Chains A and B, each alone.
Chain A
Amino acid sequence: MSLLEKPRQEIWSGTVVDCDVHAVVPSVAALFPHMERVWVNWLTEREYPGPGHAATVYPPALMTTARPEWRPDDGRPPASELALLREHVLDLWGVDHAVVNCYYGIDNVRHPDLAAALASAVNNWLIAEWLEPDARLVGSMVVPARDPAAMIREIERVGGHPSIRQVLFPVRNDRLWGDRIYHPVYEAMVKHDLVMGLHWGGTTDGPPSATGYASWFAEEYASEWSNFGAQITSILSEGVFRLFPDLRVSVLESGFTWVPVWGWRLNKEWKALHRETPWMDRAPFDVMRDHMRFSVAPADAGPPAAMKHVVEWLGTEDILMFATDYPHGHNTDISALLGVMPESMRPKVMSESARAWYRL
């Protein structure tokens, strides 16, 4: 969110960790220095401009894609350079750290080798041009979704880099992420102590909702929380945390006000039906509180009196993490959100939970 309305120290005088800022690939040519020659040739021979899918989930001119003050006057794409991130977020907020996520829509590329090559190139670009030049930054690596073997190869290749703390998983996929074919991917991740970053975006095999295609972007965007809910339910039900007790999941750009209600429903079904999934030995909402964190951008906040209850219903002070989600426009009023929390919860949200989560 913008600081134009209030000085930073007035909003929050303690330390800040921003757990979701974006790096936007300005053009496929920006990746050329970071990919093998054979793929540079492949792309230039065809003049393939790169996967356009990011523009489907973030239509370029929409307010939700970038706040006006974050669109450079000179026409550079928003959030396409470290210098812009520094000017708009890192220096302005005086962050201790920020977690950089690059959603490039690679999940939309069906060519298995090109998808893997683009993922490697984005990771190389991110490390060289964002993470290494600025000590405040750590980042998520990207992987070619839907190909577990290729995901594991890329995790083995860059997952051990000191600036890489998370693997970005788009919320939409051909299969639910709890599915057993992905369990070896989680095994590789916990070896490198990488967080799973479940984020808006992705490509489904059919309609992006559980019950058909939405007609408008606004409709699709507003109902995306149900996809987050389905993915969380899958990860819990498939026993992923039972197998990998050290695995942590950040849920990003999902909103969080729906989480307690979803947790109650999961608990209710578990009480009656746990014989179906006997490895679920604890109430799912408890497991969510231990293994998952939610960013506050968007907050999707209701009136403050009601939000106070939502924060209580979450049942733990550790579960929310501050994010600007730069450059996306959510108009989250962080002051109002902090105002409905107990005082002891505010430093956890603004930096301490993310510090522990990402080992900063």
Chain B
Amino acid sequence: MDNNIAISFEHVSKLYRLGVVGTGTLSQDIHRWWVRDVLKKGDPYLKIGQTNDRSTKGDSDIVYALQDITFDVERGDVVGIVGKNGAGKSTLLKLLSRITAPSTGCIRAHGRIASLLEVGTGFHPELTGRENIYMNGSIMGMTKHEIDRKLDEIVCFAGIERYIDTPVKRYSSGMTVRLGFSVAAHLEPDILVVDEVLAVGDAEFQKKAIGKMKDVSQSGGRTVLFVSHNMTAVKSLCHKGVLLENGMLKEIGTTDDIVAHYLRRGNAVENYRKWDEPEIKKDGFELLEIGVRKKGGNWEDTMRVDNEQELVIRYRLNEPFEHLHLTFHTKNEQGQKIFSFSSGKQIDVKHNKGIYELIYTLPANFLNWGNYAFDLYVVKDKSKVFIVEDDIVSFTLANRELAIGSWMGKEPGDITPYFSCVEAKIN
């Protein structure tokens, strides 16, 4: 056995039953009990468990939230666990935090585990801030002596000195979160398990929180498992990544690789499509290829807010066209159309038969990070729309590289321009 291993997952699976508990489930329970406990034939429902894909309707109501997960985490590693909603991230943390037991397999660990699936667990609204520090601290496994010693530090970190003897029910939600995180930040576990608790609090506090997590992971070789949808935070904190998909372990690797792969496939984003047998065709127009990529890069490259992107379209004309132009409607994550652009006069000339390639360049520092999609409109004779394809192609923009401690959240709005500005001391 390698002594450097902090956590070891061995063939861990977790089954869940979908649907409502009622008379129907009673017969399943009796059947399961009969086969497993009386006939000793093993759990019959392990076999019919299905891969957990939320969007497809399966024929079994037993699904694997996690399926055969095996990997080791070395001591001192800071590991980011990424995957889309329902990939099994939280289930993995729940198993490791001993909230619920695995269905099969086992997990071994070295040292004390503290899990931060929520901040301020066990806060009682009627108790004062001080009383709740003791309450929450002991729930997280601190002794009274430890809390006594760190009380001042905790209060100071939370920045709520003034309210410390006021019941927590009078706190703003932000203050409650600060207090909760502050207690958690002063735990001294060997292994820290963190779910997306950083998604709360204001910008200033997020900075503090990420900075603190960084301190924790860098000092004294502590092992951290971190689950987040915030790729910027994952990238800046973790040096290893684990990608989960539909309850299965897809990949382990460096954070950069994992984040890049997640961004490409995790969100069902399709930034490049090519048809050998054209499907989008009408009146002699055939779409052959369409894609968005980093300017001059490959289709697999991560696209970042501060790079130029290019939209590339290849099409074949089987008839000459007198007038032709292509219009794209740009949609944000919520599906709102944010702007449109068109080829306009640039190609609105007589086209002979043949294959054409059209490249648009999207400026750097323009669209905010996130997911975008284009709707395609093909127009002939200046005003006749003859092809409409919604979501013809979609892409993800990643954030700029940020310094540790900067605000990791998403700035509001769909664009994130850099304006030149000049400052002069005038007095």
A, B in one complex: no
